[in-house]
Amino acid sequence: MRIARTLQTLGTLALLASGTLVTGCKSAPELTATQAQALIQASYDQTVPGGANIVVNDLGMRQGATAKYWTRTKVYPNKYWADFTLTDDGRKALKLANGGDVIEWRPDSPTDSKFSVTVVTVAANHLKAHDVSSIQDEVVPAVDTAKGAAYIEGVSLDGVPQPLQDIAHNPGNRLSRKRHADFSLEGGSWKLHGIQ
């Protein structure tokens, strides 16, 4: 009888001790999609803004000529190769990837629809984070408490003239992509740990 009472007393003490430990532990604060997006955007805003790369295909070349961004200055004997020189309006809106001012249009044939060149917007912007989703607990090396989230990273075309924005929306351009961000709990608040 005495042993049974001792075991019951020890069991009660163990139960009380475990309850004290559970209630004494603080749980991690919630990480909302709005908070996660703000942390990601703050990281983007700390980087140097840059121009957006825009792929210009045959349709884009015609749109750029209509917008007077470039003018044809040379046609080659095969009749489908040409050189296009940037106009003053073109130099205000874009730069060529090679740093020059002549687009060397060299498709493989008159019907080649895959040939393209890349231009860079003069307007420099930061990337934009949006559509944060799938926030969940994660295991991150060297981090005690971590969460991860999926989101969309988008190119900003703020300050880019409308004709160049139209070219940027042609096939072949990628203005957004899915990314993943890791967050760590530091000093009671969430911090951006890294972006993949």
> Hey, what are 141's tokens?
């090396």
Report the percentage of the chain scoring pLDDT > 70: 87
Positive or negative, the CA dihedral 47, 57, 88, 161 is negative
Q: Where are the domains of the chain?
A: 29-49+127-160+174-195, 53-121
pLDDT band with cut points at 50, 70 and 90 for residue 18: very low
CA nearest to 56, candidates 99, 97, 91, 2 = 97
CA nearest to 117, candidates 135, 144, 130, 98 = 98
Tell me the whole-structure pTM to 2 decimals: 0.77
Average pLDDT, whole number, for the chain?
89
Beta-carbon count within 10 A of 129 CB: 24
Residues paired with residue 181 on neighbouring β-strands, in sequence order: 149, 195
Distance CA 107, CA 115 (A): 5
Residue 7 has pLDDT above 70, yes or no: no
- Tell me the per-residue pLDDT of 123-159, one tens digit each, with 9 for 90 and over: 999 999 999 999 999 998 989 999 999 999 999 999 9
CA nearest to 93, candidates 155, 154, 165 = 165
pLDDT attached to residue 9: 52
- Tell me the per-residue pLDDT of 53-112, one tens digit each, with 9 for 90 and over: 999 999 999 999 999 999 999 999 999 999 999 999 999 999 998 889 999 999 999 999
pLDDT attached to residue 55: 97
